Structure 1
Amino acid sequence: MSGKLTVQDIQGFKGRRKITMLTAYDYPMAHAIESAGIDMILVGDSVANVVLGLESTKDMTMDQMIYHACAVRRGAPHTFVIGDMPFEAYQKDAARSAGNAARFVHEAGCDAVKLEWFDCALEAAESVIRSGIPVMGHVGLTPQTADKLGGFKVQGKDASAARALIRQALDFEKVGCFAVLLECVPDRVARLVTETLSVPTIGIGAGPSCDGQVLVTHDMLGLFERYKPRFVKAYARMNQDMIKAFEVFKDEVRDGKFPADEHIFKIKEEEFKNIRRAEDDGGA
């Protein structure tokens, strides 16, 4: 990749070409994503579910998110990286939003942060943007407050809910968000939002009309199989491939096939004899 994209580059893609985004939480995944030329990486709080085995993204702390964001930046130095603000970073106290967003930028080298919609979302987003940090808004299914939405369900399915969702997206744009993520939204509602906003929309479970698409990388690689959202397309079955590899390793170790000669370090015969002589003399 010749150079890192800017906010202006990303906004300029709207109406011109689709934007791509994937999640990453560590160095090797980030490096692979950058090597593939993906536009943006989201250091998602979904790490709670797909890496740490936690039930809720609300369990992630700022320190944990910074730890993962630092690893991602090392793996993808030339990619636009977005830090996903965890629940504790802004929803407990919106006044702390700018300070926590600054940690993503100054400690981890992120280019922007993402905020989910909640009661004080606009206050939080405006505070971060005033501090000079770009913000991506997130509406529709917001996992950090899914308990208030009736669980992990499609949002905006009736006219009233759809209008509210569109207003939220517009409000995020009005306070200066450079893009808005739409999660689990009916396709025609997502198209309305995309047509209404002047900034790009990034969809996950929101149909093909969004300006870009994002998936959780562990889902699309088939690495996480505890549950699979309907909107996920698995481009690989890596969990099954790993299990097969682990089984072969187990069998080869038990059968004495691994390590083979090509995996072994050698010592010169004369040096080994010197070791044995020293042992025989009682002076090893």
Structure 2
Amino acid sequence: MSARIDEPNAKSTESGIPKRVTLRDLRRWRREGTVFPCLTAYDATMARWLSKAGVSVFLVGDSAAEVVLGLPSTTHAPLDFLLQITAAVRRGAPNAYVIGDMPFLSYHADENDAVVNAGRFMVEGGADAVKLEADASFASVFERLSRAGIPAIAHVGCLPQRVQLHGGYSVAGRTAESARKVVEDAIRLVEAGAVCVLAEATTAETAEALVDAVDVPVIGCGAGPACHGQIVVTQDILGLTDWQPSFAGSEGQIGSSIQSVVEQWCEKVRRKEMDHPYIMKDGEAERLDD
């Protein structure tokens, strides 16, 4: 039995921000109308810097397959790799709310596999929740995860893991029928136990209807301003990727800065101008020639 039941989150004496962000905080932000930023992170160093910037919700996305590994799509994301980098993000941002991304085929074939693999994200990765791309047909998976005590987030709208099935990416909710399906999928998955919804690449009207239809936090990824939280791929807004989705934009050109710094360093190497701090003790250089 825990002595901490019903205790409020401890507050930082410096900032007033909860020392450990939990699902309670996401729910509170939803109630208060506080829109929270959420970014992807794939390593401890980036997670640490993003946390310092005020980001308290991280998705360790299967987009790492493309961004980190250079693979052609998210369907190639290895489960064990995602587990490792989820743990890395947790170490880099120990107080953040960390979401592990269930990769392609990690929950599709068998509900028992889904529970085991999701559990690995919690135990090995230190995740606070897992995210699954899903429609209403996956309700039984969410029910199993909920019974196991694993918080699951329903990813609806555009589902990148199904891109090959549809022949490419497409915006969800351009028609009333399409929008209605997104909302109905989300409702069913929340009924099955989803603790949050992530809506990707939907029309603003679809997201508005979704926010009105469910009583859990809704995170938007190119889904319009009505969502309770907003997420993009970090490398996109930093200008580190060759192409950015129209909804992400580019807030900086860090890639160009990296290139410039490295070019300067390479030139110093070629000119033999590298600083070297290590010197021998007095008299030892002469002894070296003896």
TM-score (norm 2): 0.90
1:244 maps to a residue whose letter is: S
Q: How does 1:204-283 map to 2 (within 5 A)?
A: 204-225=221-242, 227-257=243-273, 259-260=274-275, 263-277=276-290
Structure possessing the higher radius of gyration over alpha carbons: 1
Structure 1 residue 39: Cα displacement = 2.5
Name the structure 2 match of 1:20: 37
Cα RMSD for the two superposed structures = 1.4
CA separation of 1:2 and 1:274: change in aligned 2, threshold 3 A: farther
1:266 maps to a residue whose letter is: I
Structure 1 residue 118: Cα displacement = 4.6
Name the structure 2 match of 1:154: 171
1:265 maps to a residue whose letter is: Y
Structure 1 residue 255: Cα displacement = 2.0
The 2-side partners of 1:150 and 1:167 are apart by 23
Q: Are 2:18 and 1:5 aligned?
A: no
Structure 1 residue 15: Cα displacement = 4.0
Q: How does 1:71-90 map to 2 (within 5 A)?
A: 71-90=88-107
Structure 1 residue 232: Cα displacement = 0.9
The 2-side partners of 1:108 and 1:201 are apart by 23
TM-score (norm 1): 0.92
Name the structure 2 match of 1:282: none
1:232 maps to a residue whose letter is: A
Q: How does 1:181-220 map to 2 (within 5 A)?
A: 181-220=198-237
Q: How does 1:134-173 map to 2 (within 5 A)?
A: 134-173=151-190
Structure 1 residue 251: Cα displacement = 1.5
Of 145, 149, 158, 1:132 maps to 149
Percent identity, please.
37
- Note the residue ranges of structure 1 that are not aligned, 5 or more in a row: 278-284
Kindly indicate whether the alpha-carbon contact (under 8 Å) linking 2:240 and 2:253 is maintained by their aligned counterparts in 1. yes
SS in 2 for 1:89: coil
Name the structure 2 match of 1:100: 117
The 1-side partners of 2:135 and 2:85 are apart by 24
Name the structure 1 match of 2:62: 45
The 2-side partners of 1:121 and 1:267 are apart by 67
SS in 2 for 1:88: coil
Name the structure 2 match of 1:32: 49
The total of aligned residue pairs comes to 273
